[in-house]
Structure 1
Amino acid sequence: MTIRMNFDRVTRYYINSIPYFFQDADDQHAFFRRDDGSAAVERLSWATLQDIMKRPDWNYEKLPQSVEEAKSRPQPHICLSALSRTNQTLVCNRWFFVCGLTRRYSEGGLTLRPDDVGQHYPHIKAYAAEEWKTFHEIYGAKYFSSNGNSFGFDASPASILRWYRAVKKAGGRMDALIDKRGRASKLDINQDSYLFIQQQLREFLLNQRHTGREVVDNTINALRRENERREAAMLPLLQTRGKTALWEWLKRFDRLEVDAGREGSAIAKRRYLGVGKTNRATRPGQTFQVDEWEIDARTIIMNGPIREGLDQKTIDRLPRGRRWLYVVLDVATRYIVGLLVASSQNSASAIRALEMSTRDKSDLAAAAGAESIWHGFPFEGVESDTGSAFRAGATTRAVNETCAAYSYPTVGEPQFRGTIERPFLTFTYRVMPYLPGQTFANPKERGDYPTEETAVLTDDQLALIFIRYVVDVYHNTPNAGLFRETPAKALERLSGTVGLPPQLPRSMRRRAFGISLERKVTSKGITVLGVAYNSRELQKLRRRPENTKVTLHLEPNDIGMISVWTGREWLEVECSVENFHGVKLDEWIAVGRILRRRYVGQAALAADTIWDALQAMRSRANEAMRIMGVLPQQATAEDIARLEKELYLGLSVVENEIPELDALDLADDGIGYVIGDPDAGQGGALPGDAPSTSDDEEVDLDDPEEDTDWWQEGEDL
């Protein structure tokens, strides 16, 4: 299946470092116009675009328009589908002349007068012909009734000016060029008479609750008295209408307005209460809704995932508590794109849930044993309530950094957030009965249910249950909000028609969702958890008169690069050591604990040693380790500061030492060098050399002398 991308026309996309603007798309290709002065239109297949978005140089830049302006921007050719073939050709040709005049006028030297337009007519028509050619390349003969191969349409300067002014007055809409002659309509009553009758009929909306018949009779009597007064004053008489017409006008009043006036606004509000009546999203990623929910179950609170071998007495002594669940849902498809278990309500958890929603999570689904794929894609807008986690400045900054809009519905009106509130009720009825340690709203509902005695689940087990339910059950269950279509099918259908938003560039993702830290630039650059990041631009920053601390953002899913804010611009700084791209923060912390104890006497660790340990740990990682990103124990900025003081104090990562080969003798056969005494055989070793571990030897992570309870020590990570 071809997965389309939903590009917009107010974003500058960089493909191979060349700026482009999106023009149009069909089932197989997307058309982009170069923004380098050539105005050339290029055609790219959807498969090619998928590969382009995986490259490190993929980037895009939102222009100074908001997302709401981008979504409300009229599509110029959408009005053509309702016209006849002849009118389609007529409107298109007029549009090309308007584009040609606009382009010539922007170059200067042209005034908007018929005689001056006539002098520049050859240039205007040439520009119009270029627009015609580009339009034909994209749409073919879809909107043309003629079979010509060139632009043969002519127009007078006065007509071109009239079309130009009509389009400008309409805000740039193409439908202003449609010939509407012969369709004019007029009211069958003058304005004064209409306003007078409406004023009398509005008596029906008063809280005196007059009957409709009484209001109609009073209106007819008021018209008669007013005409008698006007006749005496020699004024024009008002037009009258019979009872049937007045009854029809009375029925046109909005029912909400009628009930609010006659019975009160409170009664009308309850009667016409809106549930989930938010702005209907029509494409994936157009609107995400995010909310938090305190899980109706008590779980075991631990510093890390549960391990085998803990005795029951130890488990019984561990504290119990309730966790919070952060859920991100796509409004158009009802597809849950983000799910996170948190220890409390905080902005860091909300940001992690939003970050999770923008990427594919098939690895998490596989760790939970799910059979379906868990998709993710960027968002154009986010809606949430006014909770402290969502109103925090860090959450707002993260959304704004992705060039998305953030909006909040009316306070105290949860029915307007029914789209995101409804899944929590589904969890209550479909998931919670299967969980031990369930809680209830009051003692009457709980009865004699032993909540504390049955609380045996840990955070990782709780997360695995919710992930499995969401991916395999919720996404494949018919949804009433989708007219009995499943969220998975809705996403598949819309991704093949309107497409998904393009993936976020890596730098944008890091700036938006990365952990914010402050560091001072040194001669080694910036060091985070023993890993150094350095560049020429960073050293220039160090040489400033005041070398104050700078703000940086570290992505938990890839610590191979950081984003540094200099006060004026962003710097992307790579790690000074190779093989750190793709390493997760949790992996590096876990490996650091093991290697720090094993090499306690060393101030520096070789990159190969770290890489072998990472590979060994990944090969033995269980489900709980793979889902660490959705658990409350993921590292925060405070945890990083504490670990640098306790675990990584004085520790640094260095590249492997490269042997000096210039001082060695070349072997007799010309291949390789002679190391040590050639007569010493295999036992010869250079004096002073310390025994070293082979690069191919895997680091043993199961040292029996290690403390197997290291993960329980300290605070939550």
Structure 2
Amino acid sequence: MPESHPSEATRFRFSMDDYIAVDGKAYRPVSVDRRGHILRGLEPDGDGPLAEFRHEDLYALHVDGRLTVRPGWLGAGAFQARRRSDAENLADLPETEQHTILWRAEWCDRFLQMEKDLPSMTRSDRAMTLAIPQIHAAVATLEAAWQGQGGRRARAGSKVAVSHPPSPATLRRWLRLYQAAGYNAVGLRENWRRCGNRLPRADGDSHAFALAGARAFLDSRQPTRRMVYDSYLAELEDENRRREEAGGPLLAKVSPRTFNRHISNLDPFQVQCGREGVDAARRKHRITAAGLQVIRPLQRVEIDECNLSLQVLLTAAGAWARLTAEQKRLVERTRAWVTLAIDAATRCIVALRVFADPPSSASAIAAIEMAIFDKTHLGQVASAQSPWNMCGLIEEVVTDSGSAFIARETKTVLTSLGIRSMNPPAKMPEMRARVERVFGTLQGHFVKYFSGQTFENVVIRGDYDAQGNASIDMGELNRTLVRWVVDAYHCSAHEGLAGETPASAWRRLTAKYGVTPPPDARTRRSVFGLSCTRHIQGKGVRVLGIHYQSPELQRLRRSTPEVEVRVDRFDLGEISVKAGDGWLTVKPAVPGLNLHRVTWWEWTATAADLRRRHADAASLGIPVVREALSTIRREGLAAAERAELGSPIIGEEALERAEKDLFLSFAFQDDGTRGADLLEGVPQVADQQQAVHPTPLAPARHGPDPADDPNWKHFQRDQFEIHDEDEE
């Protein structure tokens, strides 16, 4: 029998370099114990007071969208990557640069893997010349796959472009940049955009002398950069004195900035060895050391896809005999594609999506998103009795070399989130043994958990012309599979866990190690959001009938009238607008229109309802919209669609179709209400969490919020009014 237990909060894990913001106030981690985390506030003038957050409070803040975590943000590697690339993650860069950076990262990752596997592999010209052709063959195959459409391979005979391989010197330079950026791919971005007068201020001998002095930084006494530079100046003075006495040319002094650049260009592994010892270096740079055993939740997640035979399932469930002849003919020719992700440490299934269409990059990305974020709502829609609250940022994703997983779009998502990806060679399923075994269990055992009647409902018939209108109910199949995962598989003893259930293993290991929280709303929008292009008008940008506006957006309008926009289908309360290499966060412009946590499905259902009931109205008042939206949510009319169980993946085409069909003439009347929540008083999944306040461990000092834009801070809505002649 499945075990039952109350829903428990997932315990989060932070590193000392993580940036954490709670309701906009910035913190950094200090310590953690069984009770919770101790965080120190970050103030403009230095460190702020300590505050304690219990584990359950942090989880509640995450569910409510009030917790922001940027892993490694405060670390030297992340700073170096941002400094070099002027971008936070790969999704912020133009598509052409994304391709180049992904290509370079593949070269670096594959060479680092060869260094790990082959003790004889070095970074000498001779060794790298032998390795480059092997890497080029694999990367060229991957690069050709990237040129397919939607993650599907290009047709045989079609022409593809393959980039020329790098030289050993170029590959070594990429490796240094990659390691200095903490293995963040954006650190591989070229600096051509900063081209200008770069003539050297010192000759080669002077730079060689400075470089030799910079190597004094590799000292176990751990001198500071300033100490090493002062020592270099003293040695330079002595060397020039000797040269002057011998009548030779004097060496030029390099600036502190140039000297620091010499230090930064030293191999990070060598720096770590010299300053902290070989053992510490190997632990820190584990990507080039021996593999680690999987012990933490979400340390390794295996993802795969399989073709599911509905006839086999229905027959095993005892439902086949009760189907009509036309239903049997339909089922015989129908197969569903299942994309599944399993956590290696706990054996918990963290994502399960069933599609009627063949796999693509869109289905792979949908599974990755599902694996990262909380799935409590999905379990509720499927009527599961146990919680499906497994969530967190994945450390490493392991897939096969299917076109959906090696597609450029999929690689961009993983790289933007800082998730390592591994694609074992083909015909080696033992490298993904856990997910392969789950597929066997899926097809052989899960039907025993349900009656034949349940599976009869998977096949539905139309009201007329039964043979012509019979179809497979993918939503019912998805809900059935979710109930099996959450109530049966997660709560049954697992041989690979020595008899422990996956749900119990998740609770035990998250209590011991924790997990990195999922990305915040802004990052989710930029990585997983729907993309569209809009013109900036006097009222801002219009998406799904809503005008979004801000002063920064209007300033952007002067230089870039047409912009890329990202929309989170789970929260229409904000959108992201591309501005250079970053994103602006913009809110709705209509006073009284607060769409915080209103989903795509609730909003489109509301628009359809209003269009049907108020077809003759030129514009609608906010109270009318509020009442319709509240009814949709209160009655749960869009809950199943929000769960995306069996529904097609929403893409850019669906957004543009909704604009045309529902919002072409959609307009609001301003009722004068300022900032009223359209869903005030309407129950939501996370509303049962109580308000969370940190426990101060010292007298609190309040400073400016580092996460806010200072220009927006002083902006008052009633002071901002723009009239556009072409809109009046």
Q: Give the TM-score, by structure 2 length.
A: 0.56
Encode CA deviations 1:457-477: one digit per residue, 9 max, x unaligned.
Answer: 512211110111000000011
CA distance 1:629–1:570, shift in 2 (3 Å)? same
Q: Secondary structure at the match of 2:341?
A: strand
Deviation string 1:530-571 (CA, Å, 9 cap, x unpaired) is 112111111111111x52x32221111111111122222211
RMSD: 4.5
The counterpart of 1:25, out of the listed 19, 29, 32, is 32
Report the equivalent of 2:344. 331
Shift of 1:526: 1.4
Of 512, 525, 533, the match for 1:518:
533
Q: Which residue of 1 aligns with 2:224?
A: 105
The question of 1:173 aligning with 2:280 is answered yes
| Alignment correspondent of 1:555 | 568
Q: Secondary structure at the match of 1:58?
A: strand
Distance 1:425-1:453 versus aligned 2 partners, 3 A rule:
farther
Task: Determine which structure has more spread, i.e. the larger CA radius of gyration.
Answer: 1
Partner residue of 1:62 out of 72, 77, 80: 72
Measure, in 2, the Cα distance between the counterparts of 1:283 and 1:537. Answer: 42
Which of residues 615, 623, 633 is equivalent to 1:608? 623
Distance 2:343 2:231 in 1: 48
Q: Separation in 2 of the partners of 1:658 and 1:374?
A: 38
SS in 2 for 1:574: strand
The answer to which of 429-438 and 648-657 deviates more is 429-438
- Which residue is 2:368 aligned to? 354
Give yes or no for the alignment of 1:9 onto 2:9: no
Say whether the 8 Å CA contact 1:10–1:21 is kept in structure 2.
yes
Report if the CA contact (8 A) 2:355-2:474 is conserved.
Answer: no
> Aligned-pair distance for 1:617?
2.1
What is the aligned partner in structure 2 of residue 493 from structure 1? 508
1:572 shift after superposition: 0.8
Are the counterparts in 1 of residues 301 and 396 from structure 2 also a CA contact under 8 Å?
yes
Matches within 5 A, 1:620-639: 620-621=635-636, 625=640, 628-639=643-654
Asked if 2 retains the 8 angstrom alpha-carbon contact of 1:3 and 1:46, the reply is: no
Q: Distance in 2 between matches of 1:518 and 1:402?
A: 23
Q: Is the 8 A contact 1:365 1:374 kept in 2?
A: yes
Choose which of 605, 612, 618 in structure 2 pairs with 1:597. Answer: 612
Structure 1's 361 and 2: CA in aligned 2 closer, same or farther, altered over 3 A? Answer: closer
Amino acid corresponding to residue 391 of structure 2 in structure 1:
F
Q: Is the 8 A contact 1:9 1:70 kept in 2?
A: no
Give the Cα–Cα distance (whole angstroms) in 1 for the partners of residues 389 and 549 of structure 2.
Answer: 35
Shift of 1:628: 4.2
Q: Secondary structure at the match of 1:524?
A: coil
Does structure 1 retain, via aligned residues, the 8 Å contact 2:490–2:501? yes
CA distance in 2: counterparts of 1:172 and 1:418, whole angstroms: 31
- For 1:399, the aligned partner's letter is L
Paired position in structure 2 for 1:431: 446
SS of the residue 2:339 aligns to: strand
Q: Do residues 566 (structure 1) and 576 (structure 2) align?
A: no
Residue identity opposite 2:20 in structure 1: Y
Whether 1:285 and 2:298 are equivalent positions in the alignment is yes
Whether the 8 Å contact between 2:602 and 2:638 is mirrored in structure 1 is no
Distance 1:175 1:426, change over 3 A: closer
Amino acid at match of 2:655: I
Contact 1:298–1:323 (8 Å) recurs in 2? no
Corresponding residue of 2:105: none
Taking the aligned partners of 2:556 and 2:273, their CA distance within structure 1 comes to 54
Change (3 A) 1:175 1:523: closer
- Residues 494 and 646 (structure 1 numbering): CA distance in 2 closer, same or farther, change over 3 Å? same
Would you say 1:377 and 2:496 are equivalent positions? no
In 2, Cα distance between equivalents of 1:55 and 1:538: 24
C-alpha distance after superposition, 1:329-359 (max 9, x if no partner): 2111111112222232222222222222222
Corresponding residue for residue 287 of structure 2 = none
| Equivalent of residue 553 in structure 2, options 519, 538, 545 | 538
Aligned-partner residue type, residue 105 of structure 1: T
Q: CA deviation at 1:645?
A: 2.0
Q: 1:477 aligns with which of 481, 484, 492?
A: 492
Cα deviation for residue 583 of structure 1 reads: 1.2
Shift of 1:485: 1.3
| Cα 1:38/1:172, change in 2 over 3 Å | farther
Provide closer, same or farther for how the CA distance between residues 478 and 51 of structure 1 changes in structure 2, counting only shifts above 3 A.
closer
> Which residues of 2 match residues 140-155 of structure 1 at below 5 A?
none
Give distance in 2, aligned partners of 1:352 and 1:423: 19
The structure 2 residue matched to 1:617, chosen from 632, 656, 659, is 632
Mapping of residues 498-513 of structure 1, within 5 Å? 498-513=513-528
**What does residue 367 of structure 1 align with?**
381
The one-letter code sitting in structure 2 at the alignment partner of 1:360 is D
Q: Could you tell which deviates more after superposition, 429-438 or 389-398? A: 429-438
- TM superposition shift of 1:620: 2.8
Per-residue CA deviation, residues 392-427 of structure 1 (Å, 9 max, x unaligned), is: 222222222222222222223222111112111111
Partner of 1:302: none
Question: How far apart are the structure 2 equivalents of 1:416 and 1:71?
Answer: 29
SS at match of 1:635: coil
| Shift, 1:649, TM fit | 1.5
Asked if 2 retains the 8 angstrom alpha-carbon contact of 1:367 and 1:626, the reply is no
Kindly indicate whether the alpha-carbon contact (under 8 Å) linking 1:2 and 1:46 is maintained by their aligned counterparts in 2.
no
Contact (CA 8 Å) 1:530, 1:652: kept in 2 or not? Answer: yes
Do 1:8 and 1:70's aligned partners in 2 also have CA atoms closer than 8 Å? no
1:284/1:495 contact within 8 Å kept: yes
Matches within 5 A, 1:448-467: 457-467=472-482
- What letter matches 1:615 in structure 2? S
Deviation at 1:490, TM superposition (A): 0.3
Q: Does 1:656 align with 2:666?
A: no
Unaligned runs of 5+ in 1: 74-97, 117-163, 177-276, 300-311, 440-451, 660-694, 699-717
Shift of residue 372 of structure 1?
Answer: 0.5
Q: 2:54 maps to which residue?
A: 46
Q: Kindly tell me: are residues 174 and 25 of structure 1, through their superposed partners in 2, closer, same or farther at Cα, counting changes over 3 Å? A: farther
Q: Structure 2 counterpart of 1:567, which letter?
A: G
Change (3 A) 1:624 1:430: farther
Give 3-state SS (helix, strand or coil) of 1:573's partner: strand
Q: Alignment length, in residue pairs?
A: 464
Measure the CA separation in 2 of the matches of 1:291 and 1:612.
43
- SS at structure 2 position matched to 1:386: coil
Q: CA deviation at 1:494?
A: 0.8
The amino acid across from 1:349 in the alignment is: S
Deviation, 1:288, is: 2.0
Q: 2: distance between equivalents of 1:502 and 1:453?
A: 48
Question: Does the CA-based 8 Å contact 2:545-2:663 persist in structure 1?
Answer: yes
CA distance in 2, matches of 1:175, 1:563: 40
Helix, strand or coil at the partner of 2:379? helix
Aligned position for 2:251: none
Amino acid paired to 1:352: A
Equivalent-residue separation in structure 2 for 1:50 and 1:427 (angstroms): 31
Determine the C-alpha separation between the residues in 1 that align with 2:556 and 2:468.
58
The C-alpha deviation readout for 1:135-190, integer Å capped at 9, x for no partner, is xxxxxxxxxxxxxxxxxxxxxxxxxxxxx9986261583999xxxxxxxxxxxxxx
2:564 partner SS: strand
Distance 1:522 1:422 in 2: 55
Identical-pair percentage? 27
Conservation of the 8 A alpha-carbon contact between 1:432 and 1:438: no
User: Contact between 2:10 and 2:390, CA under 8 Å: does it hold in 1?
Assistant: no
**CA distance in 2 between partners of 1:645 and 1:626 (Å):** 20
Q: C-alpha separation between the residues in 2 aligned to 1:454 and 1:532?
A: 41
Tell me if the contact between 1:460 and 1:624 (Cα under 8 Å) persists in the aligned partners. no
Q: Which amino acid aligns with 1:521?
A: I
Corresponding residue number in structure 1 for 2:435: 420
Give the AA of the match of 1:550. V
Matched residue of 2:490: which SS?
Answer: helix
What's the offset of the Cα at 1:574?
1.1
Using the alignment, how far apart are the partners of 1:165 and 1:508 within structure 2? 32
Provide Cα deviations, 1:20-75, integer angstroms capped at 9, x if missing partner.
543443323434566667467836243454455445363425346489989999xx
2:378 counterpart letter in structure 1: L
